[in-house]
Chains A and B, each alone.
Chain A
Amino acid sequence: DGGITQSPKYLFRKEGQNVTLSCEQNLNHDAMYWYRQDPGQGLRLIYYSQIVNDFQKGDIAEGYSVSREKKESFPLTVTSAQKNPTAFYLCASSIEGNQPQHFGDGTRLSIL
Chain B
Amino acid sequence: AQTVTQSQPEMSVQEAETVTLSCTYDTSENNYYLFWYKQPPSRQMILVIRQEAYKQQNATENRFSVNFQKAAKSFSLKISDSQLGDTAMYFCAFTRGETSGSRLTFGEGTQLTVNP
Interface residues of A (CB under 8 A from B): 33, 41-45, 48, 50, 56, 58, 88, 90, 92, 96-103, 105-106
Complex Cα spacing A33 to B32, Å: 19
**Chain B residues near A (Cβ < 8 Å):** 32-33, 35, 42-47, 50, 91, 95-104, 106-109
Q: Are A103 and B99 interface neighbours, CB within 8 A?
A: no
Q: Are B108 and A98 in contact (CB under 8 A)?
A: no
Residues of B within 8 A of A88 (CB): 43
Specify which chain B residues have a CB less than 8 angstroms from the CB of A42 in the assembled complex: 91, 106-109
- Closest chain A residue to B46, Cβ basis: A103
Assuming A97-B98, A98-B97, is B103 touching A48 (CB within 8 A)?
yes
Cross-chain contact B109 with A33 (CB below 8 angstroms): no
Out of A41, A99, A100, A103, name the residue touching B44 (CB < 8 Å). A103
